[in-house]
Structure 1
Amino acid sequence: MELYFLGTNAGVPSLQRNVTSIALRLLEERRSLWLFDCGEGTQHQILKSPLKLSKLEKVFITHMHGDHVFGLPGLLSSRGAQGVTAPLAIYGPPGIKSFIETSLTISQSRVPYTMDIIEHTGGVIFEDKYFRVEAAGLDHRADSYGYRVVEKDLPGSLDPKRLEAYGLKPGPQYGKLKRGESVELGDGSWIHPADVLLAPKKGRVVTILGDTRPCPGVEVLAKDADVLVHEATFMEDLAELAHEYYHSTAKQAAEAAVRGGVKSLFLTHFSSRYKDVEHLQPLLQEAKEVFEHTRLAEDFGLYPVQRST
């Protein structure tokens, strides 16, 4: 599980940063890619990255402002032009279905794959035996949502010492035990998975927020997350401006991380007034004074999501 930032600017692109889009690479977990928001130019960013549209399985849109959705019609069309036929699920607030269908219809774009467009107003929006995705409303000028991706706990690894004690050798029986099946020994006794498996591996939690002012929804989504991705459009000296435009400061993002008990925080969605990495350092310092484990997201930055031990 890895985060890959395709755009970290707010509002409009700059020479240094594109507008918002974040990929969650799940190549080991499900051989796929999930995309969060798709600002204008996202497909160009993907062309410059190691990401492949053929791996794209799901798209999650936080809200309908242009810097988060204007790249979506082109990306969907290009995915089809590349010959990808695998189905795609798109989740977003009310209006996302009309936006996609109207854009593709009027432009006569050919999409040779099934699209399942799911409009939601929060709650559990996806779940299978490996992952659950929850959404909650935030506080922005448009209906804005954050997403909490919960990886379910995985079975523990086989314990070589216990296996040896039972006289088990590598082979099909290992696979059965790993899958949660019991196996019968030659003497008629049974070995159950709990007899030879180590403790389960705790699943990871990644929270990715849309644009927002501080609000209860942030805390619900961020609680005990391994990673929180939070907008930091301004520094605290512009807190009144941030509030007026329904955004957050770097300090407010750090305070949310502290309240949520998260393990690491990524700041993103920076105002164009902070032109480059050097100009972003004061935002980082401001946040780190409140929450030490803070990093600046960078375009084309790849960040593994570590599993808690």
Structure 2
Amino acid sequence: MHAIRLHAFGPAENLTYEQAPSPHPAPGQVRIAVAAAGVHLLDTAIREGVKGPLPELPALPTIPGREVAGTVESLGEGVAALWLGRRVVAHLGFAPGGYAELAVTDVDRLHEIPANLDFAQAVAMIGTGRTAMGILQFADLTPDSVAVVPAAAGGIGTLLVQYAKHAGATVIGLAGGPDKAALVEKNGADLAVDYRDPGWPDRVRRFLGDRRATVVFDGVGGDAAREAVALLARPGGRHLVFGWSAAGLRDGAPYLVDGVSESVLGPAMMRRSGGPDPIRTLELRALTEAAEGRLVPAVHRFPLAEAATAHHALETRATTGKVVLEP
């Protein structure tokens, strides 16, 4: 099979498209003919040799990627025959192997793809979508809410804007550049602004008049977050923090304000989800929202062979929506 392999940690150019041994499903596993593989910001950190939240870095050489969608084409021992030939999507967890024509995973990780979703959209919902569902648990959105979404043209931001509008909230979307701001407006935001324009906070204040923001969905950190938090109502405004892409995953930190900011990733998200398998619960919610048309993921597609280009584009914020590789 063809795959993207990483032989040494470092820049995006270290990702090489080459022949690799085909994986074989172990008992309780399936092999998927991959039609779409998700690219995450965490993948770029791992590529550079920064493990982030992973327990340890993968042994080299490795095939990166932890989100795949495709068709089940081989079954391991003990797997029901009904899975063969099904369109499925799965998050591989901490196991790499997604940037390839073939990937294996435990059958318990599989979700059948709803008929109205293509493979790339399904990949977007299994990773980015489940994170959005987890974040939204903390928001308590109503028609009285005023939500500010930094990075509103990104994969998570696109879904947060859509969900907030579906809840009847007023939505302010921030994006880097006029083209991205136009996409955010098309996605349903009541006001879309270019956060590279130093006057954007005043534009938001003029738009809101006597109203104040009630929630800021922040996966960015840095200056944009600082300005967005200044728009919050006090008391009562909430700053929900789920990342800090402005500084990257390597040495950055989110912008936090005592009594206003709340981290919603990791254990907090899992506790709020509840149930015996909170991650799977969030995945099912995300796929259901997409299947029923309330959420439509934005996808930025690259050929599998151009994984290095995709990484570079993601790191330089030249992408919109979820980045997906297609063999």
Does TM-score exceed 0.5, indicating one fold?
no
The TM-score normalised by the length of structure 2 is 0.28
